[in-house]
Amino acid sequence: MKTIFAAVLLAAITTQASAGYLDGNKLHDVCRKQDDAAGPAMLYALGVVDGVSDLGSILNLEKLKFCMPEGVTARQLGDVVCLFLQNSPGDRQSSAASLVMGAVLETWPCE
C-alpha cells in the first residue's frame, strides 16, 4: 500500500500544475512582487519542504531526500526558490511544489 501511495504522490508532484493549484508562474510572480524573500514565497517553500521531508522519511523515499545544512534560514530558502524560478522560465508551468523541491534538491543534494 505504501508503494502505491508513494507512486501516486510522486506522479502528482512531478506533473504539470492543474487548474486551482499554484504553479511556478504564480509563485514566480509572488517572488517578483514581494519586498524580500521572507514573504509568502518563503512561507510556501517552508511548507512544501517540511511536508516532503516528513513524507520522504516516513516512506523512506530516496528520491525525496535532500541534505539541507544546519543553519539555513527561512529567508535563505526563499532566496533559493525565487532564484531557481527566475533561472528556470521553461519549467514554470509545473506545479510550484515540484519546483520548490527541484530548487532544494539542486542546491542541497545528499552526497
Residue 23: beta bridge partners? 95
Point out the least confidently predicted range of 32-41, 43-52, 55-64: 55-64
In terms of pLDDT, which residue wins out, 91 or 47? Answer: 91
CA dihedral 72, 75, 78, 84 (to 10 degrees): -70
pLDDT of residue 74: 83
In terms of pLDDT, which residue wins out, 49 or 106? Answer: 106
Other beta carbons within 10 Å of 13 = 18
In terms of pLDDT, which residue wins out, 49 or 108? Answer: 108
In terms of pLDDT, which residue wins out, 48 or 12? Answer: 48
Asked whether the beta carbons of 82 and 31 are under 8 A apart, the reply is: yes
Query: How many residues appear in the chain?
Result: 111
What does pTM read for this prediction?
0.71
pLDDT band at 12 (very low <50, low <70, confident <90, very high): very low
Distance CA 69, CA 12 (A): 27
